[in-house]
Amino acid sequence: MERSALRIGYCLSLSGPLASNGRTARLAHQIWQEHINANGGLLGQPVELVCLDDQTNPNLVAGLYQRLLDVEKVDLVIGGYGDNSVAPAMPLIMERKKWLLALMALAVNAKFNYQQYFVMIPTGPRPNLALTEGFFQIAGQQTPRPQTVAILIADAPFSQSPAQGAKENLAQQGMRVVSEGKYPLSTTDFTPYMAELKRVDPDVLFFCSYSNDSIGLVKAMDAARLSPKLVGGAMIGPQNGIVKSELGPLLNGLVNYEYWLPVPSLMNPQVASLIETYQSRAENAGADPLGYYVVPLAYAQMQALEQAIRVVGSTNDGALSHYTHEAVFHTVVGHVKFGDGGGWAEPRVLTVQFQNIDSNNISEFKKPGTQVVVYHSETASSRVIYPYVNAKRSPMAMRNA
């Protein structure tokens, strides 16, 4: 007699603007599912993942979770990638008193303060500060210290928290905001914004952007020949292999946040094997060709779920929540302890700089010297090249000049 499956339900953005990251998380989850089922499943049952496409449309999310619980009759639900795939589900999750372990949602629980919510993102208890702390710490370490900051962000809910955190961090470094602007998410021509920034001529240029915006901003900044001393901050997109290959050498000098990279301090045999397996299958899955940003955390999300279920011995939401509050989880990204608000107890956000990129070939970004960790000191793999103009030109361009 065939054993019934233990069914885990959730939604991801498998189509729409965030599809690349959604499909990346999906493949990482499938690799975990294969590993777990090859070793007997969970609670003596094979694991089935019921993943629905929210189309990067937050208006669909609540209905999808209701379908998962009431029609699909899943045993557990988890959270997907990004605030828009998680936050709309929260009222239903809370009403049903479900345990929810989400993936990389930044500030969802600040509003709900739900005690059975957890999230696999290394931003710690104060995510708005952690995301940009390294960027402004790096700025503050330079001589002479930069004084002026221009802020340009997408006019969208996701950018509000990082922008506020940036203001707190820059103030701690004795810097002041001289320009603050927003652009609609529908913007395709960033030329007018660059003209205003060129007029202001800030020492530091802080962006908070989505994937397509990040491409447009970097290209427009290059065309306008802007040369702040430091540029980047809280840009979504440069972490993704598709965006990396689109921009290539234009990324040189940019300083931004990351959650994981294959630098010596973060590598271990299990994560190396995971990345190798993932990259061999990414193209066929239509996913990020590198996977560094999403894959380790998506796999760690499922490892935490696996460990909680094994110890608790059931899928009881209350028992799983109690255990998750107390436990230290052993994952491909190291030991993880959840703290207040359901985020990691301690932040582990990386600050990185793009350097020495010669071409748009994706193989550039598998080289150890093209995206280097410059903060914190315990994970740093190189030093920041400052000011921006010194890192901007690729070695190939300089040789051909």
Map out the domains of the chain with their CATH numbers: 6-122+267-342 (3.40.50.2300), 127-258+355-400 (3.40.50.2300)
pLDDT at 3: 67
How far from 317 is each of 88, 98, 100, 171, CA to CA, in Å?
20, 6, 8, 42
Select from 328, 342, 336, 268 the least CA-distant residue to 297.
336
Cα 17 to Cα 20: distance, rounded to the nearest angstrom: 8
pLDDT tens digits for 166-203? 999 999 999 999 999 999 989 999 999 999 999 999 99
Please state whether the predicted TM-score (pTM) of the whole model is above 0.85.
yes
Roughly how many angstroms between the first and final C-alpha of the chain, as a whole number?
71
Helix, strand and coil percent figures for the chain, each rounded to 5: 45, 20, 35
Confidence of residue 30 (pLDDT cuts 50, 70, 90): very high
Q: Which two tokens stand for residue 265?
A: 């301090």
Supply the angle between the helices 19-38 and 295-312 in degrees, to the nearest 10.
40
How many alpha carbons fall within 13 Å on the CB side of residue 152?
27
Select from 375, 369, 368, 377 the least CA-distant residue to 395.
369
**pLDDT at 397 exceeding the cut of 80:** no
- 312: phi > 0 → left, psi -120 to 50 → alpha, else beta; which? alpha
Confidence of residue 361 (pLDDT cuts 50, 70, 90): very high
Q: Is 371 exposed, middle or buried (0-12, 13-18, 19+ CB in 10 A)?
A: buried
Q: Which two tokens stand for residue 161?
A: 């928290």
DSSP lists the bridge partners of residue 179 as 150
pLDDT tens digits for 297-312? 999 999 999 999 999 9
**pLDDT at 2 exceeding the cut of 90:** no
Cis preceding linkage at 144, omega within 30 = yes
More confident residue, 399 or 292: 292
